Structures are given as C-alpha cells and as structure tokens.
Structure 1
Amino acid sequence: MLDATDTPVFAPATMQRSHGAGTLAVKHSGGRSRIDRLHQSGNAKIRIPRTHGHALEAVLINTSGGITGGDTLKWSLDAGSHTHTIVTTQACERIYRSTGETGMQQANIRLGDGSSLFWLPQETILFDRGRFRRELDVNVSGNACFLGLEILVLGREAMGETVDEGHFHDRWRIRRDGDLVHADDLRFVIAPENDMGGPARLGKNRAIATLVSVTPEDAESLDLKVTAVRTLLRDTEGGASRIGEDGKGKLVVRIAAPSSYLLRKQLIPVIRLFLGDHAMPKVWNL
C-alpha cells in the first residue's frame, strides 16, 4: 500500500521479438528436383506448391507479418547438383517502424554443379522509421547458374506514405568455386537533412530493383542477353551491364521507378527473359 510520499515504479515494457529460421535442401531424383531436407522454426515457414514445370518452387513465408527492430529471419537453401529451384515469397515483406533496433534478414544459398536457383522474393516495403539490414550470401559451384533479385519500396503507396526517417542496408556476396564474383553494398540513411529526392539519389523514384545473373555462359551469349534486356528497358530508368570474362561473367540489371506498380511492369519481362523455359512463380501472378 502506498502513502502520499511513495512513488510507484513501473518496469519498462519490452516488446516480444520474432525469430525464424528455415532450411531447404533440394536433390535430383527420378528426373525431377525434389525435397531432400526441410526444416522450419519460429515464424519462418516454407511451402512447396504443386507445379507442372520441372523446377521445384519454394514459397517462403514470414508468419509474423513483417519485421521490426530486433527481429531476425534466416533462410538456408541448398540446391544439389543438377537440380532446378525457384524461390519466392508469399507476399511483400514489410519493415515496420522501429524504436531503435535494426531488423535482420539473412539468406545463405549454395548451388551444386549443374544446378540452377532463381532467388525471386517479392518487394520489401520500408515503412517510415523502419530499420533493416539484409544479407545475401551465395556460393556457386562448377557450371551452376544463379539469378538473384531484390526490390525495395519506400513507403506504402496506397496510404500516401513517405519515408522521412529510416535505415536500410543491403549486402550481397556471390562466390563461384570460392572466388568472389560479386560484392554489392547499398545503404540508405534517410533523415530530414538528407535529400532523397536529389539527382544523385533517387529523384522522383520510390521503388528500386537489383537483379544479378551469374552463369557459365561465354561473353558473346551474355552480350546478347544484355542487348535484349536494354531493349526491354528502353524509355525506363533502368540499365544492364555485363562484367567479367568467358565462363566467369555476370550480368547486373538495375531499375528505378516512381512506384512498385510501374517497377513490376518493367521488371517482369526481364525476369521472364532470364527464366527461359521456367514459369514465373504463381504468387507473382495473384
């Protein structure tokens, strides 16, 4: 019981953090790519829908509905030799407002010789005052083929939201047989004193995409693909470059657009070009 001179003391409220981890290994069996090992914990779930193609399609799900400060999400993917895998997400990943901590997502991907893996998550939406760090580490063996995509959208367009403050750091490392072939760090520190609309930053754009293709193709084949991508991106704020020599080259595509709708419209034909005989993930068409 308190008297008039006592001051009540309340313990500070602590928010529960979400932590999830999912592992998927794919093997070649009976002429098809099949699940070899699957493990999921916390809010990380993996679903394998039925498809008519010869690639295994995996859908990653964050059941917490988004990421905020202190949350962690880890994915591990192992594409065995001569397998074909397409990985996507059930929906856009939402990065909610943080009180100071940074949310974290890590993806570790390994490709065996003769395999292909297409990493095609849907958009990541950074809310105002969101803080997020994302890491993508890929190890490619032999003549495997990897296609990686990441999309960032600043604010919820339907709500008319702008991002006045926030932090975003995207880190890519791709290696072939142990040799580093691609390193990319993209970092935005958004604050009132930083002009994100300046010509050296995003200008009028609020959606950006990076796509990297690492294949054993020769320089001539890659140059033909670059030409095809540039044709698709004509009259857009996008571009494509081929970097590297025969058998160790890569193709990098970057696109910026005022909205995620316009970005998708420009991006999907480019993805289909790289997918070849494989179909777009079903969730991208919903």
Structure 2
Amino acid sequence: MNSAVAPLPTPGRAWHGQATLTFERRGERTVPQAQTQAPLKVQRPFYPEGPSLCQSVLLHTAGGMVGGDRLSYDLHLKANAHALVTTAAAAKIYRDHPQPAQVNGTVRVEPGAWLEWLPQEAIVFEGAQYHQNWRVDLAAQAHWLGWDVLRLGRTARGERFCQGEVRSRFEVWHDGQLIWLDPQRLVGSKTLWQSPHGLNGCPVIGTLVWVGAVPTDEVITAVRAIWEQQPNPQGEAGVTALQRGLLCRYRGASTSAARRWFIQVWQLLRPHYSDTAATIPRVWQR
C-alpha cells in the first residue's frame, strides 16, 4: 500500500473536510454520487469485479492532519448496492497543537447492500492528539466489513508513543440491535508502551470487524488458521465471534503483517456476503 512521504499541511490552518458518498443500484450497476469539501476528494470509480461492485478511493489533499483539523465521512448504500471504499495513502497525524485532530464517520447500509471500508493505515506521530468516532447502521440482510490499523509513533526514527493521546469509538448496529461497541483511549506514556496490558512495546494495533451474519465454527477456525500459517508471524492476533459477525485484533511491530492478515481474512469472508472473489484495489499496489 502507498505510504509515501507527503508534504506537511499548511501551518496555522485548520481543515474541516467532508465527504458524502451515496451508492445506488441501477440495474446491474452500482453508481456512486459524491459531494466533497477540501481537503477531501474522491477519485473516479473503478469496477474491476464487474458493474455491481464500485471501488471508490478517497484522497486527502492536505498531506496529513494537524491539531484542530476535522474530517467527516457520510457513507450511504441504498438497497442492493455494493461498494468498497479505501484511501489513496496512509494517513498522518502530526504533532503541533494541543487540540485533537478529529475524524467522524457515519455509515448507513440498506437491505441487500454491503460495504467494505478498508482505509490504509494511520500514522500517529508521538505527541499528537487523534480522536475518531464511527457509527454504522445496518439493515437486516445488510453487511459491513471494516478495518482500522494504527501505527503509534514513527518507530523508524526511534519514536515511542510516550506522549499524545488516541481516542477511538466504533459502534455497529444491525437490524436495530447494537452488535459491537468498541471505545478505546490510549494516553501515551512509558507505562502504556511497556506494559503487557498496554502496547507491550508494539507500535502497531489493528482491528477488523465483519457484521451481518452469524459466523460458523468453520469460519472462525479458518481465520485463526490464516494467522497461524503466516510464514513469519510478527506480533499477536486474536479472533472473537460476535453475535452477528467476527472480530479480529492485531498487536505487533509491522503494518505489513497486519495488512497481510487482514487482506487474507477479507478474502476468506467475501463469499459469505457476495458471489464475487475479492480483488485488491490497484491503489494499494503502487
């Protein structure tokens, strides 16, 4: 995936970006409609798996987030629409201000539709303040698969996340019932970094969630086996069955290891809500 170095954002200016994406099924084709406000943009849609599945790529033109920046996402899939939404590059959250950089997202998926929210990782610089809040509302017979990968500190430069704060809250509702609620708060400190109940010296944490159906024992076993069969597993992983879905966790030192496992899990789960095999977005291959 593309994690090239981006230019620093404009000092002293707080961005309030917005992206509203609506996907509608018209015959055999899923058609997107987008409204954006800088610094967010949406690239033209792709259909590598056929007309029923639209792949959309979000672009953050400011090059990263600083304190006071706010990004808002509103993703709406109408009945029987299918979409994969990803980002063009890794997100960067810079240390420059005591106010947090904030991301807020809402997702609505109507009956017969499904959404895959697969952004590239976020790199939270040491000392940065980063808050994100997501709510996902799924109708009956709707599915959502999403992941979130964070790198805490620029470890290649020797940074450890001993200053700063990350707050994250995801809640997913299915057919009017709360299926998964995940509030997290990580306050940078040596204790958090070193504790086996915290980061345990691991700068990368990742979460993958699929909600929409009751997972079988065979699916859970297969997902665990994917991790166990990694050639050189770097880190720790866990798999938990939800009431109507599946939860995967990663803690380790490698965003590549987290992404590799998550991609394989995504490819395994895709046939459980679609009749097409998952195709890697070409933006990840640059």
TM norm. shorter chain > 0.5? yes
* Structure 2 residue 254 is matched with structure 1 residue 259: yes
5+ residue gaps, structure 1, are: 1-13
Deviation of the 1:129 alpha carbon: 0.7
* Structure 2 residue 173 is matched with structure 1 residue 175: yes
AA of the residue aligned to 2:134: L
- CA RMSD, 1 decimal: 1.6
Segments ≥4 residues shifted beyond 4 Å:
none
User: Which moved further from structure 2: 173-182 or 76-85?
Assistant: 173-182
User: What secondary structure sits across from 1:69 in the alignment?
Assistant: coil
Report the equivalent of 2:3. none
AA of the residue aligned to 1:225: V
Report the equivalent of 2:279. 279
After superposition, residues 139-178 of structure 1 pair within 5 angstroms as: 139-178=137-176
Report if the CA contact (8 A) 1:82-1:115 is conserved. Answer: yes
Report if the CA contact (8 A) 2:161-2:203 is conserved. Answer: no
* Structure 2 residue 17 is matched with structure 1 residue 20: yes
Report the equivalent of 1:3. none
Q: Distance in 2 between matches of 1:84 and 1:213?
A: 15
User: What secondary structure sits across from 2:194 in the alignment?
Assistant: coil
AA of the residue aligned to 1:115: A
Report if the CA contact (8 A) 2:148-2:206 is conserved. Answer: yes
Report the equivalent of 2:207. 210
| Number of aligned residue pairs | 264
Identity %: 30
* Structure 2 residue 47 is matched with structure 1 residue 47: no
Per-residue CA deviations over 1:27-83 (Å, capped at 9, x if unaligned) read 111201112x31011211112343321310111111111111110000111111111
* Structure 2 residue 233 is matched with structure 1 residue 230: no
User: Which moved further from structure 2: 81-90 or 157-166?
Assistant: 157-166
Report if the CA contact (8 A) 1:222-1:251 is conserved. Answer: no
Q: Distance in 1 between matches of 2:260 and 2:137?
A: 30
Report the equivalent of 2:274. none
5+ residue gaps, structure 2, are: 1-10, 272-276
Report if the CA contact (8 A) 1:98-1:131 is conserved. Answer: no
User: What secondary structure sits across from 1:148 in the alignment?
Assistant: strand
User: What secondary structure sits across from 2:35 in the alignment?
Assistant: strand
Q: Distance in 1 between matches of 2:106 and 2:224?
A: 30
Q: Distance in 1 between matches of 2:189 and 2:251?
A: 21
Please identify the structure whose Cα radius of gyration is greater. Answer: 1
After superposition, residues 88-103 of structure 1 pair within 5 angstroms as: 88-103=86-101
Report the equivalent of 2:240. 241
Q: Distance in 2 between matches of 1:162 and 1:212?
A: 27
Q: TM-score, normalised by structure 2?
A: 0.87
Report the equivalent of 1:6. none
Q: Distance in 2 between matches of 1:264 and 1:149?
A: 9
Q: Distance in 1 between matches of 2:119 and 2:212?
A: 20
